[in-house]
Amino acid sequence: DAGVIQSPRHEVTEMGQEVTLRCKPISGHDYLFWYRQTMMRGLELLIYFNNNVPIDDSGMPEDRFSAKMPNASFSTLKIQPSEPRDSAVYFCASSRRESTEAFFGQGTRLTVV
């Protein structure tokens, strides 16, 4: 398996623009997680899905953030409108079932100028 695949790897956008990050989880994994990593706050869980259904979005910082999982092999994280404080590395991870380890993608480095 190719592992968790994220795109793009890098994104630079202007403040106010819409940003969409994409993730393809490992086939057969039932759980998908979106994390954000910054120097100040470390790895923060934003939202996670079980069988394509959002279970907990309490980590989503504001209404500007939204996530979808239309099928088992694809998820998006959207920021609209983007702000400079959204600059971070965003990771997607997936796990086979509850209480098992999660496997991470390579991340998307987002810079909002």
Partner 1 sequence: EDQVTQSPEALRLQEGESSSLNCSYTVSGLRGLFWYRQDPGKGPEFLFTLYSAGEEKEKERLKATLTKKESFLHITAPKPEDSATYLCAVLWYSSASKIIFGSGTRLSIRP
Stretch that binds partner 1, among 19-27, 61-69, 72-80, 104-112 (CB under 8 A): 104-112
By CB under 8 A, tell whether 55 contacts partner 1. Answer: yes
Which residue among 21, 102, 110, 112 contacts partner 1 (CB under 8 A)? 102
> How many chain residues touch partner 1 (CB under 8 A)?
24
Q: Which of residues 65-84 bind partner 1 (CB under 8 A)?
A: none
Distance CA 47, CA 56 (A): 6
The answer to whether residues 97 and 28 touch, using CB atoms and an 8 Å cutoff, is: no
Which residue among 14, 56, 80, 83 contacts partner 1 (CB under 8 A)? 56
DSSP calls for 52-104: TEEEE-TT--STTEEEEEEETTEEEEEESS--GGG-EEEEEEEESSTTS--EE
By CB under 8 A, tell whether 87 contacts partner 1. Answer: no
